[in-house]
Amino acid sequence: MKIRNYWNLRDFGASTWENASRPVRVAIALISIVLVGLLPFMGGSILATPIASFDAVLVYPVGMFVLMSLGLNIVVGKSGMLDLGYVAFFAIGAYTMAILGTTTGLNTWEIMPIGIAFAMTAGVLLGIPTLRLRGDYLAIVTLGFGEIVRLVVLNSSWSKGPNGIANIPMPPNLGPLKFELENQKVFFWVVMAMIMLTIWMIRRLTVRRPGRAWEAIRQDEDAAELMGVPTLKYKIWSFTLGAAVGGAAGVLYASKNLYIAPEMFTLNVSILILACVVFGGIGNIWGVVVGATILGYLPDRIRFISDARLLVFGLVLVIVMNFRPDGLLPRKKREKAIVKKGANA
Amino acid sequence: MFAVLIDQFWSLTIAGVALGFIYVLVSLGYTMVYGVLRMINFANSEIFMWGTFGTIVTSRDIFGYTQTSAPATGPKLALVLISQLLMSMAVAGLTAVFVEFVAYRRLRAKGTNRLATLISAIGISIVLSEIMRLLTSSRPVGSPRVLEKIILTEVWGANIRLDTIVTIFAAALIYFLLERFVKLSRMGKAIRAVSMNEDAAKLMGVNLNRVITTTFLVGGLATGAAGFFYITVFEYTKFNIGFTMGMAAFTAAVLGGIGNIRGAFYGGLFLGLLEVYASAVLGTQWKAVTVFVVLVLVLLFKPNGLFGEAVQTTRA
Amino acid sequence: MNKKIQRSLAVVSAAALVFGVAAAQTSANAAPKTVTIAYQGPLSGGEASTGTDEQNAVKYAIKLFNAKNKATYNVKLVSIDDQGDPAVAGTVAPGIGKNKAILGVVGPAYSGATIASLPFYKAGGLVLISPSATRVSLTDSASPDFGGPVFHRVVGKDDLQGPALAKYATQGVSNAKVFVFDDQSSYAVPLAGYVKGGLAKVAGATVVGTDSVPNTTTDFSPTIAKIKTSGATVVIYTGYYSQAAVFIKQLRDSGSKAIFAGGDGVFNQEFPKLAGAAAEESRVTGVGGLAGVSAALEADYKKQMGVSSGVYSVESLDAANILLQGILKGNTTRAKMLAWVKAYNGKSITGNTIKFSANGDISYGLFAGFTTKNGVLVNTGIVK
Interface test with B, best of A307, A317, A340 (most B CBs within 10 A): A317
Residues of C in contact with A183 (CB under 8 A): 98
> To the nearest whole angstrom, how far is the Cα of C80 from the nearest Cα of chain A?
7
CB C370 within 8 Å of CB C284? yes
Average pLDDT over chain C reads: 85
Any idea of the CA torsion for C86, C219, B254, B36, to the nearest 10 degrees?
-100
Q: What is the CATH number of domain C159-286+367-382?
A: 3.40.50.2300
pLDDT digits (tens, 9 = 90+) for C287-313: 777 877 888 889 999 999 988 888 788
Of B102, B131, B198, the CB nearest to A318: B102
CB B238 within 8 Å of CB B150? no
> To the nearest whole angstrom, how far is the Cα of C89 from the nearest Cα of chain A?
9
pLDDT digits (tens, 9 = 90+) for C269-286: 888 988 888 889 999 988
How many domains, chain B?
1
Q: How does residue A330 score in pLDDT terms, banded at 50, 70 and 90?
A: confident
At residue C1, the pLDDT reads 41
pLDDT digits (tens, 9 = 90+) for C114-156: 999 999 999 889 999 999 888 998 998 888 889 878 999 998 8
- pLDDT average, residue stretch A110-127: 94
Q: How does residue A7 score in pLDDT terms, banded at 50, 70 and 90?
A: low
The residue type found at A47 is: L
Whether residues C144 and A307 touch (CB distance < 8 A) is answered with no
Whether residues C10 and A323 touch (CB distance < 8 A) is answered with yes
> To the nearest whole angstrom, how far is the Cα of A127 from the nearest Cα of chain B?
12
pLDDT digits (tens, 9 = 90+) for B259-306: 888 889 999 999 999 999 999 999 888 988 998 888 888 888 887 788
At residue A24, the pLDDT reads 86
- d(CA A342, CA B114) in angstroms, rounded, equals 12
At residue B1, the pLDDT reads 67
At residue C213, the pLDDT reads 92
The secondary structure of B84-126 as a DSSP string is HHHHHHHHHHHHHHHHIIIIIHHHHHHT--HHHHHHHHHHHHH
- pLDDT average, residue stretch A142-148: 89
At residue A237, the pLDDT reads 92
At residue A297, the pLDDT reads 86
CB B293 within 8 Å of CB B14? no
C-alpha pair distances (Å), B216 with each of B33, B119, B200, C319: 6, 18, 21, 52
At residue B8, the pLDDT reads 84
Query: Does C221 contact B at CB distance below 8 Å?
Result: yes
Residue B134 lies in a domain: yes
Please check the confidence at residue C65 and state whether its pLDDT lies above 90: yes
- pLDDT average, residue stretch C23-41: 69
- d(CA B125, CA B30) in angstroms, rounded, equals 14
- pLDDT average, residue stretch A239-245: 94
Whether residues B126 and A317 touch (CB distance < 8 A) is answered with yes
Whether residues A257 and C87 touch (CB distance < 8 A) is answered with yes
Of A1, A140, A311, the CB nearest to B295: A140
pLDDT digits (tens, 9 = 90+) for A270-315: 988 988 898 888 888 888 999 899 888 887 787 666 667 778 888 9
Q: How far does CA A308 lie from the centroid of its chain?
A: 26
C-alpha pair distances (Å), C27 with each of B30, C30, C74, C113: 55, 7, 11, 34
In this structure, chain B runs to a length of 316
Interface of C with B in 172-201 (CB under 8 A): 184
Q: How does residue C30 score in pLDDT terms, banded at 50, 70 and 90?
A: low
Neighbours of B110 (CB within 10 A): 16
3 state SS of A86 = coil
- d(CA B48, CA A262) in angstroms, rounded, equals 27
Whether residues C91 and A181 touch (CB distance < 8 A) is answered with no
- pLDDT average, residue stretch A248-266: 92
- The residues that bridge with C34 in the sheet, in sequence order, are C74
Helices and strands (H and E) in chain A: how many: 14, 0
Neighbours of C19 (CB within 10 A): 11
Among C172, C235, C180, smallest CA distance to C203 is for C172
CB C109 within 8 Å of CB C130? yes
Q: What percent of chain B has pLDDT over 70?
A: 97
In this structure, chain A runs to a length of 345
The residue type found at A217 is: I
Task: Return the biggest CA–CA distance within chain B.
Answer: 60
Among A344, A269, A345, smallest CA distance to A84 is for A269
At residue C295, the pLDDT reads 86
At residue C384, the pLDDT reads 73
**Which H helix or E strand runs over B59?**
none
ipTM of the complex: 0.88
Of B38, B120, B286, the CB nearest to A322: B120
What is this structure's pTM?
A: 0.86
- pLDDT average, residue stretch A207-225: 87
CB C100 within 8 Å of CB C334? yes
Q: How does residue B311 score in pLDDT terms, banded at 50, 70 and 90?
A: very low
C-alpha pair distances (Å), A225 with each of A81, A126, A139, B16: 16, 21, 21, 43
At residue A335, the pLDDT reads 52
At residue A175, the pLDDT reads 79
- pLDDT average, residue stretch B52-76: 87
At residue C301, the pLDDT reads 92
Of C184, C228, C242, the CB nearest to B140: C242
Residues of C in contact with A301 (CB under 8 A): 18-19
Average pLDDT over chain A reads: 85
Please check the confidence at residue C21 and state whether its pLDDT lies above 60: no
Residue B307 lies in a domain: no
Of C45, C218, C270, the CB nearest to B241: C218
At residue A344, the pLDDT reads 38
Residues of B in contact with A315 (CB under 8 A): 123, 127
Please check the confidence at residue A54 and state whether its pLDDT lies above 60: yes
At residue A296, the pLDDT reads 86
Phi/psi of residue C79, nearest 5 degrees = -90, 120
- pLDDT average, residue stretch A163-190: 86
**pLDDT-wise least confident of A126-130, A163-167, C73-77, C301-305:** A126-130
- Please tell me which residue, B68 or B140, carries the higher pLDDT value: B140
CB pairs under 8 A between B and C: 112
- d(CA C98, CA C87) in angstroms, rounded, equals 18
Residue B122 lies in a domain: yes
At residue A61, the pLDDT reads 86
Residue in chain C closest to A298 (alpha carbons) equals: C18
Q: How many CA atoms lie within 13 A of C105 on its CB side?
A: 31
- pLDDT average, residue stretch B5-9: 81
Residue B311 lies in a domain: no
3 state SS of B41 = coil
Neighbours of B152 (CB within 10 A): 11
- d(CA C267, CA C313) in angstroms, rounded, equals 12
CB pairs under 8 A between A and B: 142
**Which H helix or E strand runs over B141?**
strand B141-142
Neighbours of B244 (CB within 10 A): 16
CB B194 within 8 Å of CB B181? no
CB B209 within 8 Å of CB B105? yes
- Please tell me which residue, C111 or A301, carries the higher pLDDT value: C111
Residue in chain C closest to B272 (alpha carbons) equals: C219
User: From edge to edge, which strands make up the β-sheet containing C177-182?
Assistant: C206-212, C177-182, C234-238, C259-262, C283-286, C368-373, C376-382
Domain boundaries, chain C: 33-156+293-351, 159-286+367-382
Neighbours of A26 (CB within 10 A): 11
pLDDT digits (tens, 9 = 90+) for C176-220: 899 999 998 888 999 999 999 999 988 889 999 999 998 888 899
CB B52 within 8 Å of CB B237? yes
**pLDDT-wise least confident of B25-29, C222-226, C292-296:** C292-296
Owning domain of residue B70 = 3-301
- pLDDT average, residue stretch C68-91: 88
CB A28 within 8 Å of CB A286? no
Interface of A with C in 273-302 (CB under 8 A): 298, 300-302
Q: What is the CATH number of domain C33-156+293-351?
A: 3.40.50.2300
Whether residues A310 and B126 touch (CB distance < 8 A) is answered with yes
Interface of A with C in 181-240 (CB under 8 A): 181-184
pLDDT digits (tens, 9 = 90+) for B119-151: 888 899 999 998 998 898 878 888 888 888 888
CATH number for the domain that contains residue B243: 1.10.3470
Residue in chain B closest to C247 (alpha carbons) equals: B234
DSSP state of A163: G
Residue B145 lies in a domain: yes
Q: How does residue C10 score in pLDDT terms, banded at 50, 70 and 90?
A: very low
